[in-house]
Structure 1
Amino acid sequence: MKILLFMAQGFETMEFSPFVDVFGWARNDYGYDVSVSTCGFRKKVMSSFHIPVLVDKTIDEVNINDYDALAVPGGFEEYGFYEEAYDARFLSLIRAFHESRKWIAAICVGALPLGKSGILTGRHATTYHLGDGKRQAQLSAMGAKVVDEPIVID
């Protein structure tokens, strides 16, 4: 399985690392045929708290036929996350994965670009619940049926 891990500017490092770590362990210690390729709008993406990460591919280099799944960590508004997460090129990439019936996973507010792309309309989803449910309300306004659960699969 080949996974594309997309990092928008201001992505949360603690939400990026589980994908790399869990799938790395699965491959190296348990023999699963899984690989993760990182992706962003530029080769060096600045995460939350100004941690730079060099990605494997830029969004313009991605061919979705090379991947089985898309993973999207959330991020911080203060670090510019939504500017790139809502970029038309990324929303188009999300829709292309969806139309190809490939797996898509998001953590925290990584669900919001999925909602913005339209693929969650009428589907169960969840996102960050603190701040008086502001992000859940945004996801709901995008057409998702928001469920206040830690993990939602639909």
Structure 2
Amino acid sequence: MLRTVTAIALPGVAPFELGVVCEVFGIDRRDTGGPSFGFTVCGVEPGVVPTKVGMSIVVEHGLEATRAADLVVMPAYGGSTEVPPEVLDALRAAHERGAWVLSVCSGAFALGEAGLLDGRRCTTHWMHTAALARAHPTAVVDPAVLYVEDDRVITSAGTAAGIDACLHLVRRELGAGPAAAIARRMVVAPHRDGGQAQYVDTPLPPDADTLAPLVAWMLEHLDDDLDVPTLAARALMSERTFARRFRAETGTTPAAWLTRQRVARAQELLERTEAGVEEIARLSGFGSAAALRHHFARTLGTSPQSYRSTFACPA
């Protein structure tokens, strides 16, 4: 269970990426139905840590704060910063004892130096993926995705993708409700699939109509038959144009987006209702319990029954 979180601030730490971690894990959200974590920011030792934007922060804890944390986070830091051996030891020790290790943006380089990316899928900001692959040739670097989870190691791209990765972990460990409560307070999307593209090579023209109203309608009709011909007709587009526009705006295909949203809806129903699996499959748009179980196992690595027993909210 995710209860305690420690972020390591190296010299040259990026305030936004550190702030992402502080915002998700460092604020008590219990007054609005969210979780509360034991949260600490540490340095190599207590004291002043300069950031990359010309200001400094003061941390009260050294690396001993990582020893009992359920999650150790490495935010982005200055590219010229040499990662001290004791930081690498702390990252390795955290993973070896079963804790989660998460990086935001260029923080992945520290994980690579610690050997935590060897043989694992990973990512970082698209500007740095080639350098990460060169520095760590046994890592399987994906330059396009928002975040990757592989054997309790989570790596994410820059800025907003760090939020997505943190919320992904909250959802994975605590359930859809706590993740949604944090997202609601932060006014961000409660879930973006890690496989979505970091950016779009061919942005929409300035006068293009957005698909946002259609996407909102899709969320309200997940239990309908939402195939591409139906959606394209509703958007008044050809199927090819619709598919291209949908990927441009969401970073994924209509089918992949629908599947992930339906899994998320099923998670919420399993947490908050006593409906049977067949009924939840119908309400979330999967149609049958077999289809729901298939997508649950493929997406979350568990069954609906196991998920409910872990995350169901008490009546």
TM class by shorter-chain length? 0.7 to 0.9
User: 3-state SS of the aligned residue for 2:149?
Assistant: coil
Report the 3-state secondary structure (helix = DSSP H, G, I; strand = E; otherwise coil) of the residue aligned with 2:148.
Answer: coil
The answer to whether 1:12 aligns with 2:9 is no
Change (3 A) 1:55 1:28: farther
1:95 is displaced (CA, Å) by 0.4
For residue 136 of structure 1, what is the amino acid of its counterpart? L
The partner residue of 2:74 within 57, 72, 75 is 72
Relative to structure 1, the CA distance from residue 27 to residue 146 in structure 2 (aligned partners, 3 Å threshold; closer, same or farther) is farther
Quote how far apart the aligned CAs of 1:63 are.
5.5
Q: Which residue pairs with 1:21 in the alignment?
A: 23
User: Which residue in 1 is equivalent to 2:96?
Assistant: 99
TM-aligned CA deviation for residue 105 of structure 1 = 0.7
What's the TM-score, normalizing by structure 1?
0.84
Matched pairs, number: 145
Give 1:124-143 correspondences, 5 Å limit.
124-130=121-127, 133-141=129-137, 143=138
More helix by share: 2
| CA pair 144-33 structure 1, distance change in 2 beyond 3 A | same
Structure with bigger RCO (C-alpha 8 Å, 6+ apart):
1
When residues 63 and 134 of structure 1 are mapped into structure 2, their CA distance, relative to the original with a 3 A threshold, is: closer
Which of 33, 39, 52 in structure 1 is aligned with 2:56?
52
2:75–2:107: 8 Å Cα contact kept in structure 1? Answer: yes
Aligned to 1:145: 140
State the shift of 1:36 in Å. 1.4
Distance 1:48 1:110 in 2: 13
Give the one of 50, 62, 65 matched to 2:65. 62
Task: Report Cα offsets for 1:25-63 as digits up to 9, x if no partner.
Answer: 54564341312100112411111112211113022x436
Q: 1:140 to 1:129 in 2, by over 3 A?
A: farther
d(CA) in 2 for partners of 1:16, 1:114: 16
Work out which of the two has the higher radius of gyration on C-alpha atoms and give 1 or 2.
Answer: 2
- Inter-partner Cα distance in structure 1 for 2:139 and 2:94: 18
Report if aligned partners of 1:139, 1:146 keep a CA contact under 8 Å in 2.
Answer: no
Aligned partners of 1:73 and 1:109 also within 8 Å: yes
Cα pair 2:133 2:140 within 8 Å, conserved: no
- SS class of match (1:33): coil
- For residues 27 and 48 of structure 1, what CA distance do their matches in structure 2 show? 33
Go from structure 1 to structure 2 and tell me whether the alpha carbon gap of 1:62 and 1:35 turns closer, same or farther (over 3 Å shift): closer
CA–CA separation in structure 2 for the residues paired with 1:3 and 1:33: 11
Determine helix, strand or coil for the equivalent of 2:24: helix
Cα separation, 2, equivalents of 1:110 and 1:140: 14
User: Which runs of 5 or more structure 2 residues have no equivalent in the other structure?
Assistant: 151-315
More strand by share: 1
Coordinate RMSD, CA, aligned: 1.9
What amino acid sits opposite 2:131 in the alignment? R
Choose the corresponding residue for 1:35, options 35, 38, 42: 38
Aligned partners of 2:58, 2:30: CA distance in 1, in Å?
A: 21
> Percentage identity across aligned positions?
25
Name the SS for the 2:86 alignment partner: helix
